[in-house]
Amino acid sequence: MSVSETKAGAVKNLQDLADLAGVSRATASRALNDNPRISQATRDKIQALARDHGYAINRRARDFRLQRTGVIAVVFMLDIESKQHMSDLFFLDMLGGIADSLAERDYDLLLARAPVLDVRDLNNSRMLNQSDGAIFIGQGEQHEQLNNLARQRSSLVVWGEPVPGKQYVLVGSNNEVGGYQAATHLVAKGRRKIAFFGSTGNPENAARFAGYQRALAEHGLEFDPALKFDIPFDMEAAQSAIPELLQSSPDFDAVMCVTDVMAMATLSALQHRGTRVPEDIAVVGYDDISLAAYSSPPLTTVRQHIREAGAVLVDSVLGLINGNPVKDTLLDTELIVRRSSDTKS
Amino acid sequence: MSVSETKAGAVKNLQDLADLAGVSRATASRALNDNPRISQATRDKIQALARDHGYAINRRARDFRLQRTGVIAVVFMLDIESKQHMSDLFFLDMLGGIADSLAERDYDLLLARAPVLDVRDLNNSRMLNQSDGAIFIGQGEQHEQLNNLARQRSSLVVWGEPVPGKQYVLVGSNNEVGGYQAATHLVAKGRRKIAFFGSTGNPENAARFAGYQRALAEHGLEFDPALKFDIPFDMEAAQSAIPELLQSSPDFDAVMCVTDVMAMATLSALQHRGTRVPEDIAVVGYDDISLAAYSSPPLTTVRQHIREAGAVLVDSVLGLINGNPVKDTLLDTELIVRRSSDTKS
DNA sequence: CTGAAAGCGCTTACAG
DNA sequence: CTGAAAGCGCTTACAG
């Protein structure tokens, strides 16, 4: 028993802990890291001491010493022309999935500071220089810039659509099949004039559109270019564009939207002009964001397995960091039928 | 992430830059930080050199040396009983506001790893020990635990409702007034039987409820306890609870919901059973999340100025870190009238 | 106005 | 099995 057992000396760093245990800093460090070179007895004793005194290794110092940052940057690529927002709910759901996976692996998440207009600006930015790796969500219209980045930096993973000539590791879901599933479902429900809402300026949407066209062709329906509408991502713009379009456009009996958020804006606009959904016009979205089940009516949509996607993105970027070979991943999509396309749901 | 060394002498640290400029590391450091003790000429020269060679101060090392982390932790307090999710859109909007403000101030954002059940668990966690300050969103039912934390750690700000005896800096909006605005609006629209949807287990909702009661009283309406419904935050549970409640409950001609997300679930349930909104039942939400304008019908709601709130939270926590006196802030709420309560909107 | 030196809290090759 | 020492990239009191 020492003279005074008061917790006079708070254990604030490794040196304090080593002093307390009567060993060197080196030994204390190894013991805490369970290095087998240290005797089991010593390890136990030091670990117990750390626990009792509420000491935990200072991770920033550790990372600094190990020349890693412990940080993964997450960059949301926004479609410039269409003013897509970070508040797109799909992005936010995705962010949650990534955050959880990173936390499990003991990495921090650094959020992109601002909408990135040009990836080149990132090259010397703090964001990329001071993270161990980066996850880009969406390719936007910057495929080439991403390729350049990938050539210079090793640990970079992109969520999106595999485009020819890409030089980065890609994780995505099968957009062509997703588009095909949505359109095929509408055809099966007896719809014949199926509109397509959304810009196809980025690879993901272009693939969804290709799937839509394939579905029409396979079912003997002719694609009518007048039924393809370039709706902006931006909710505000979409909200004003959609009613206008509904007024002047040829008739259709179904709409396939390129995101759920756009589909919800469409529902609102349709119902406001007295159109019944799904009786008059069926509506299908894309993503299956968490709110899709709770719109009125609940939204039929193509589910992207977002949480799983987050986990795969994290696994992939950490694989690259650790120098492992990492392959592309394409996740399956899944049609979720709800009342917006099916009175019986 | 390391940049591949194409240039012969890549400037990767302060020493390299100093060598290039023919000065000491100390001078280079001071020059980059625009220290007036260094001659203007030297400062200009070194800063230009840094720019030309793509060198930026390694912020991790700098933070480490300065014994700060450059990180603010953001912790979302979830209402346990009612299984509130982080995906509540209000939280996500708030997160965006905080992220932007922190980025402007050159701080990183560390996201809470998991739903926090008991704040005490955080006390020795990495999250709090290795950040310069923390922002808690919502008090949940853990007011006391927050008080304990605040006594031990200085730089802590809470978003929520001012409750008596709190020992932490608080930022919030005026929930009592918000509730009052919502209910008063419904009364003004001629509604007489106004239901209240939501759990009042946390201080914010309790205040909204108090405002609702005050509005009824001031307008000579009697509060009917049968019209107060304890709806869970959890969307899934809410979705199943609401239809049930609609079936067995006394009649009402309006509903005030404690969040927009709940209001959207209510819209969906009401319309599914054939109730017209707002003709039969008017619905009012709370928060004005970005999707509120795009539901069908668009949602009347009490706006919390979320982006501004994020900025104030960040200013407050940075104020505490810098040792400045920081006062509580109560932001105003604003009634936003849309079609869910007003056919003429 | 500038520099040499110490040190933030760790880890690890090297030596014993 | 354990320790002394170097060093990650910076900043700053101290000295000149």
For the stretch A57-76, pLDDT in tens is: 988 899 899 988 888 888 87
Separation of first and last alpha carbons in chain A: 73
**Whether residues B37 and B80 fall in one domain:** no
Higher pLDDT residue, B178 or B4? B178
Q: pLDDT-derived band of residue A125, with 50, 70 and 90 as boundaries?
A: low
pLDDT in tens, A186-209: 999 999 999 999 988 888 999 999
Q: Which of A90-99, A218-227, B268-277 has the highest mean pLDDT?
A: A218-227
A87·B96 Cβ contact <8 A: yes
CA of B115 to C1' of D14 (A): 49
Residue A268: name the closest of B296, B219, B126 by CA.
Answer: B296
Per-residue pLDDT at A252 exceeds 60: yes
| B46-65 residues near strand C (Cβ < 7 Å) | 64-65
For residue A251, pLDDT over 90 is answered with: no
Note the strand D nucleotides within 7 A of protein beta carbons: 1-13
Residue of A nearest to B57 (CA): A126
Q: Residue B81: inside a domain, yes or no?
A: yes
Query: What pLDDT shows up at residue B100?
Result: 81
pLDDT at B160 over 70: yes
pLDDT given for residue B211 in this prediction: 97
Q: Looking at the complex, does the CB of residue A239 fall below 8 Å from at least one CB of chain B?
A: yes
CATH code (residue A83): 3.40.50.2300
Q: What is the pLDDT of residue A211?
A: 97
Number of folded domains that form chain A: 3
- Say if residue B152's pLDDT is above 70: yes
CB contact, 8 Å: A67 with chain B?
A: no
CB B49 within 8 A of CB B20: yes
pLDDT at B294: 83
**Same domain assignment for residues B313 and B165:** yes
More confident residue, A35 or B139: A35
What is the average pLDDT across B241-260?
Answer: 84
pLDDT higher than 90, residue B291: no
Q: How many CB atoms lie within 10 A of CB B316?
A: 25
In this predicted structure, what is the pLDDT of residue A6?
Answer: 33
Rounded Cα–Cα distance for residues A21 and A41 (Å): 12
* Residue B296 contacts residue A268 (beta carbons within 8 Å): yes
CB-based contact, A296 to chain B, within 8 Å: yes
Whether A327 maps to a domain, the answer reads: yes
Q: How far is A266 from chain B (nearest CA, A)?
A: 9
User: Is the per-residue pLDDT at B80 higher than 80?
Assistant: no
Tokens of A90: 């799909």
Say how far residue B210 (Cα) sits from the centre of its chain: 22
User: How high is the pLDDT of residue B209?
Assistant: 97
Q: Report CB contact under 8 Å: A110, B113.
A: no
The shortest C-alpha distance from A307 to chain B (Å) reads: 12
* Residue A110 within a domain: yes
- Tokens representing residue B91 in the block: 């939280």
The residue in chain A having the minimum alpha-carbon distance to the alpha carbon of residue B267 is A296
pLDDT score for A248: 73
Co-location of B104 and B127 in the same domain:
yes
Query: Residue B129: which pLDDT band, with cuts at 50, 70 and 90?
Result: low
Q: From the CA of B259, how many Å to the C1' of C6?
A: 56
- Mark yes or no for CB contact B261/A71 under 8 Å: no
Question: A2 versus A303: which is more confidently predicted?
Answer: A303
pLDDT at B205: 92
Is residue B269 scored above 90 in pLDDT?
no
Structure confidence at residue B47 as a pLDDT band (50, 70, 90):
very high
Q: Which two tokens stand for residue A289?
A: 């964001």
Using pLDDT thresholds of 50, 70 and 90, give the confidence band for residue B235. Answer: low
Give the pLDDT confidence score for residue A7 in this predicted structure. 44
| Chain B residues close to A261, C-beta within 8 Å | 291, 294
Q: Of the candidates A126, A155, A294, which has its C-beta nearest B265's C-beta? A: A294
Which residues in chain A have Cβ-Cβ distances shorter than 8 Å to B3? 129, 152-153
Place of tokens 């962010």: A95
More confident residue, B220 or B307: B220
Same domain, A166 and A310: yes
- What is the C-alpha to C-alpha distance for residues A238 and A251, in angstroms, rounded to an integer? 19
Of the candidate ranges A242-251, A303-312, B109-118, B264-273, the one whose mean pLDDT is the lowest:
B109-118
B81, pLDDT greater than 70: no
Inspect the interface and report whether the beta carbons of A272 and B111 lie closer than 8 Å.
no
B197-234 pLDDT, tens digit each: 998 888 899 999 999 999 999 999 999 998 999 887 66
Q: Which chain B residues have a beta carbon less than 8 Å from that of A239?
A: 293-294
Chain A, residues 132-191, CB within 8 A of chain B, namely: 132-134, 152-156
The partner residues of A216 in beta bridges, in order of sequence, read none
pLDDT band at A235 (very low <50, low <70, confident <90, very high): low
Distance from CA of B205 to the nearest CA of A (A): 22
A-B interface: how many C-beta pairs under 8 angstroms?
A: 139
Question: Do residues A324 and A307 lie in contact, with contact meaning Cβ atoms separated by under 8 Å?
Answer: no
pLDDT of residue A99: 84
Q: What are A278's two structure tokens? A: 């799904």
User: Residue B123 domain-assigned?
Assistant: yes
Whole-number average pLDDT of chain A: 85
Residue B79 has pLDDT above 70, yes or no: no
Residue B261's pLDDT is 85
Residue A120, CB half-sphere, CA atoms under 13 Å: how many? 4
Q: What φ, ψ does residue A222 adopt, rounded to 5°?
A: -85, 140
Whether the link from the prior residue into B162 is cis, omega within 30° of 0, is no
Considering chain A, what percentage of its residues have pLDDT values greater than 90?
A: 48
B156 and B195 part of one domain: no
Contact B261 A124 (CB under 8 A): no
Q: Which amino acid is residue B24, in one-letter code?
A: S
User: Are both B77 and B179 inside the same structural domain?
Assistant: no
Q: Is the CB of A65 under 7 A from strand C?
A: yes
Alpha-carbon distance of B27 to B39, in angstroms, equals: 10
Whether the predicted pLDDT of A124 surpasses 70: no
Paired tokens of B103 = 């980025």
CA–CA distance, A117 with A76 (Å, rounded to integer): 10
Tokens 């260094």, residue?
Answer: B38
Q: Which residue has the higher pLDDT, A139 or A20?
A: A20
Residue B180 is assigned to a structural domain of this protein: yes
**Who has greater pLDDT, B95 or B281?**
B281
In A, which residues are within 8 Å of B85 by CB distance?
290
Instruction: Say whether both A251 and A292 belong to one domain.
Output: yes
Q: Is the pLDDT of residue B87 over 60?
A: no
Residue A120 has pLDDT above 70, yes or no: no
In a domain, B6, yes or no: no
Each residue's pLDDT tens digit, A1-20? 333 333 446 888 899 999 99
Domain-embedded: residue B319: yes
Q: Do B194 and B274 have their domain in common?
A: yes
* Residue A132 reports pLDDT greater than 80: yes
Strand C contact at CB of residue B124, distance < 7 A: no
CB atoms within 10 A of CB A203: 21
Let me know whether A170 and A200 are in one domain.
no
Give the H or E element holding residue A148. Answer: helix A143-152
Query: Does residue A281 surpass a pLDDT of 60?
Result: yes
Per-residue pLDDT at B233: 64
Is residue B301 one of the residues assigned to a domain? yes
Rounded to whole angstroms, the distance from the CA of residue A132 to the C1' of nucleotide C14 is 29
- How would residue A343 be classed by pLDDT, with cut points 50, 70 and 90? confident
- Mean local confidence (pLDDT), B184-188: 97
Residue A162: pLDDT over 60: yes
pLDDT on residue A59:
84
Residues B266 and B198 in one domain: yes
Mean pLDDT of B17-42: 92
B265 touches chain A (CB under 8 A): yes
Contacts of B71 in chain A (CB under 8 A): 108
B76 — pLDDT class (breaks 50, 70, 90): confident
Give the mutation candidate from A111, A136, A154, A157 for the B interface (greatest B CB count, under 10 A): A111
Q: Residues of B with CB below 8 A from A113's CB?
A: 99-100, 103
Owning domain of residue A27: 14-57
Flag the least confident range among A226-235, A311-320, B40-49: A226-235
User: In the structure, what pLDDT confidence band is assigned to residue B5 with cuts at 50, 70 and 90?
Assistant: very low
> Letter for the amino acid at A182?
A
Identify the CA nearest to A115 among candidates A86, A153, A141.
Answer: A86
The reply to whether B114 and B216 lie within a common domain is no
CB count, 10 Å around CB of A72? 25
Mean pLDDT of all residues in B85-106: 76
Say yes or no: B189 and B290 in one domain: yes
Confidence of residue B145 (pLDDT cuts 50, 70, 90): confident
Given pLDDT bands bounded at 50, 70 and 90, which one contains residue B282? very high
Total residue count of chain B as it appears in this document: 345
Q: Are A286 and A182 in contact (CB under 8 A)?
A: yes
